[in-house]
């Protein structure tokens, strides 16, 4: 089964949002970079997805004109098999990604990136509903503190745990980086 790693919205734009919390970035990047390295070692495709919002003034950090729609500092440099731009939560809407995956014979996706509960979760659900076999890797996703309606905080760890719980067994296999790489790479490929 052909498998592709989808690296969603790992872009410098987020560092320019008021909710950005840099404390968890190093741990996230270590996991994300290990996942990318494992796919590269196995010769499997890695797809880069950027979220882009129209704003000709460049004031929106997600606009191409801002100059911030580029890899997040610290992300491993990799040669993407495909780079797409999206304007919706799901990477499969309006980006052409679904067409490319089908043309390449990709039947399994490994989902990673930013934000855990938003674009990563939405893409996972959408891909599953479209018939792809999906592996979701919570430790290779990043998010930021949110608030419940009553104002109490919802931490990134709580968000990752909730997202894993609602996806597991319904929309995806939920695996850590090492288990995901074991599931998709040939036994003779050394995983970094």
Query: What's the whole-number average pLDDT of the chain?
Result: 95
**Does residue 10 register a pLDDT over 90?**
yes
Please give the share of the chain, as a percent, with pLDDT higher than 70.
96
What does the pLDDT read at residue 177?
98
pLDDT-derived band at 186, boundaries 50, 70, 90: low
Q: Tell me: the pLDDT tens digits for 108-145?
A: 999 999 999 999 999 999 999 999 999 999 999 999 99
If you ran DSSP here, which 8-state letter would residue 26 be given? H
Cα dist from 19 to 7, 22, 75, 117, 155, whole Å: 21, 10, 20, 15, 12
**Does residue 62 register a pLDDT over 80?**
yes
**Does residue 189 register a pLDDT over 70?**
no
Question: Model pTM greater than 0.85?
Answer: yes
How far out from the chain centre does Cα 31 lie?
Answer: 12
**Does residue 188 register a pLDDT over 90?**
no
**pLDDT (average), residues 36-60:** 96
What does the pLDDT read at residue 129?
98
Class of the 7-184 domain? Answer: alpha beta
What does the pLDDT read at residue 138?
98
Q: Which helix (H) or strand (E) holds 122?
A: helix 121-129
For residues 136 and 174, is the Cβ–Cβ distance under 8 A? yes
| Residues ≥6 apart with Cβ < 8 Å to 131 | none
What does the pLDDT read at residue 190?
45
């Amino acid at each position: 089964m052909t498998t592709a790693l989808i690296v969603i919205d790992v872009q410098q734009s987020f560092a320019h949002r008021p909710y950005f919390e840099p404390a968890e970035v190093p741990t996230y990047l270590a996991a994300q970079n290990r996942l990318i390295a494992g796919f590269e070692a196995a010769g499997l495709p890695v797809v880069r997805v950027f979220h882009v919002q129209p704003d000709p003034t460049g004031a929106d950090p997600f606009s191409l004109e801002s100059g911030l729609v580029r890899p997040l500092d610290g992300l491993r440099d990799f040669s993407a098999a495909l780079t797409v731009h999206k304007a919706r939560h799901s990477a499969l809407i309006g980006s052409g990604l679904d067409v490319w995956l089908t043309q390449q014979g990709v039947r399994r996706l490994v989902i990673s990136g930013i934000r855990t509960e938003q674009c990563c979760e939405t893409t996972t659900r959408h891909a599953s509903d479209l018939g792809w076999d999906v592996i979701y890797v919570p430790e290779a996703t990043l998010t930021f503190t949110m608030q419940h309606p009553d104002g109490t905080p919802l931490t990134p760890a709580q968000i990752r745990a909730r997202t894993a719980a609602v996806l597991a067994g319904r929309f995806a296999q939920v695996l850590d980086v090492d288990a995901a790489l074991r599931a998709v790479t040939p036994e003779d490929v050394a995983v970094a």
